[in-house]
Structure 1
Amino acid sequence: MDSAITPQNLDLEDLDLNLPDHTQLPGSDGKFVKNLQEHPQSILLTDSIQPVLKQRHPDGHYCIGQDSGIYWRLTAPPENGAEAPDWFYVPNVPPTLNGQMRRSYVMWKEIVAPLIVLEFVSGNGEEERDKTPITGKFWVYEQAIRVPYYGIYEIAKASIEVYRLVGDSYELLPPNERGHYPITSLGVELGIWQGLYQNVTLPWLRWWDAQGSFLLTGEERAEQAEALLARYRERFGDLPI
C-alpha cells in the first residue's frame, strides 16, 4: 500500500512545506495508448471547441489536457497519486506556468479543478466506473478532484455516459431531445457523430452548441468558407479588389 498526502490532510499554512510541482513530477507512467482512435479523438474535441473557449476566455486563461496526468495526492511512487484522463478542460488558469507548458496538472499547486474530464474506453469500462475509495478512477473524480462533469465514452459501443456532480455524488445525466448531453457550465452539448474525420469514417465524440448547431473543426470552417465563396462567385462573379 502506498503512503499518501492529500489536500485534506495538508497544513496549507506551513510555509516551509516544499511540495513538488509539474516540473518535478513524472509526466508519464509509460503506458501505451490503448486505441489508435484516441489521439485523433482528442484533437477533434480540442479543435472544434476552440472558438467557444476563446469567446469565454478573452484573456486566454484556460487549460486543455490530453492523456495528461492530474496529480491529486502525494504518493510513493508519485504516479500512483495521479489520474490521466484522455481529455480534460480547466477554466480560468493560465495556459503556461513560468513560460513552460505543463508536464502535468498538479492540484495542490493550482487548486482549480477541471470542469470536465473524458475517458475513452477500449475495454469493458470497469476501470472508468471503479468506485473503490482512494484507488478507483470514478471515486477519484467524484470525491477527491470533484470534477463537475465526467464522461465515459465506450468506443466499441459508440455510446457515452455523462455524470454530473450534484452535492456529494455523481448523477447520470439524461440526454436531451437531440440525444446530446448538455454541459451547461460550458454552454455546449456533447454527443456522438458518425462521419469522416482524418480519413476515417467512425462514430466520433463531438460538440454542439446549446442550440444544437454543430461546432466545426478549423478544417471544416475553412471548407465552409470556401463553399460560400464559390457560391458567391457563381452568382455575382469575382470579389471586387
Structure 2
Amino acid sequence: MTALTPTAKQSQPFYPSADGEPVAETYTHLYALLTTLEVLRQYLKGRQATVLGNQFLYYAQGFPKLRVAPDVMVIFDVEPGGRDNYKIWEEGQVPVVIFEMTSGGTQAQDTGFKKTLYEQLEVQEYWLFDPKGEWIEERLQGYRLRGESYELITDSRSEPLQLRLAVEGELIGFYREDTGEKLLIPDELVEALQAEVKARQQAEERAEQAEAMLARYRERFGELPE
C-alpha cells in the first residue's frame, strides 16, 4: 500500500507595487499627473472613494502579469485612502474614471491596448490629456461608455465626477457643475489662502485704526451721543 503524503500548499502569487519605471515621461506630464491627482483627491475628500496615481491595477486574479498602471484613476464605493496597488477582485469595484497623460510616444498604447482594456473592464470614462499637444490638437479627448463601447465625449463633461473639464495651459482645469466653481490646484489654493489671510489682516488693521480713532474722540469730546 502506497502511503499518501499531503500536497504542498500552493504559494500565493506575488503582486508587485512597482517596476522601476519612471512615473512620467517628462516633468510636464508628471506635473499634470500630480496636479490632477491632488485636485480630485481634495474634491472627493469625505466620500467613499479613492484617487490613485500611477499604481498597478490588477484585473485578473492569479495572473500578476496582467496589470496596467493608469496615470490617475478614480474609484467609487471603496474605502478612502491610498493603496500600494489595486486589485479589482479584492475591492469589488472597477475604476469609474481614468486619466492618461499621453504623448506621441505613448499614443499607440493609450489608444490601442489601454483603450480596449478599459472598455472591456467597463471603466465609465477614459480621458486622454496631451499637455504638449503632440498628437491631440485640442489636447484633451475623452470617451464615455455607452453599452459595451466607448463614444467620443463632445461636451467636456465628466458625468460620474459631475465636473466640467477645460484645458488650461499644460494642466486640466476642473469646474463644479452645480456652482461653476473652479477646483483649485495646490498652487492656486496656496495663493487663495494667502489672499484670505491678507484680507483678514487688513480688516483687523482697519478695525484697530477705527478703535484708535474712537478712543481719541472720547478723550477729547467724551462719549458719543446716543
TM-score normalised over the length of structure 1: 0.70
**How many residues align structurally?**
193
CA RMSD of aligned residues (A): 2.7
> Where in structure 2 are the equivalents of 1:127-206 lying within 5 Å?
127-130=109-112, 136-143=113-120, 145-157=121-133, 159-175=139-155, 181-194=156-169, 203-206=170-173
Q: Which structure dedicates a bigger proportion of its chain to strand?
A: 1
Q: 1:201-216 maps to which residues of 2 (within 5 A)?
A: 203-210=170-177, 211-216=179-184
- Equivalent residues of 1:233, 1:239 under 8 A apart: no
1-structure distance, mates of 2:128, 2:12: 32
Residues in 1 aligned to 2:93 and 2:123: alpha-carbon distance in whole angstroms: 10
Correspondence for 1:82: 67
Cα distance in 2 for partners of 1:68, 1:113 equals 14
Unaligned regions of 5+ residues in structure 1, if any?
1-15, 131-135, 176-180, 195-202
Measured in 2, the distance between the counterparts of 1:208 and 1:214 equals: 4
Give the ranges of 4+ consecutive aligned residues of structure 1 lying more than 6 Å apart after TM superposition.
Answer: 16-19
In 2, distance between residues paired with 1:215 and 1:128? 26
Any residues of structure 2 matched to 1:216-235 within 5 Å, and which?
216-231=184-199, 233-234=201-202
TM-score (norm 2): 0.74
Q: Give the percent of matched residue pairs that are identical in Structure 1 and Structure 2.
A: 22
State the AA in 2 paired with 1:137: K
Q: Unaligned stretches of 5+ in structure 2?
A: 1-8, 209-226
1:67 aligned to which of 54, 79, 95: 54
Greater C-alpha radius of gyration? 2
Instruction: Determine if contact 2:61/2:89 at 8 Å carries over to the other structure.
Output: no
Point out the structure with the larger helix share. 2
Pairing 1:25–2:15 present? yes
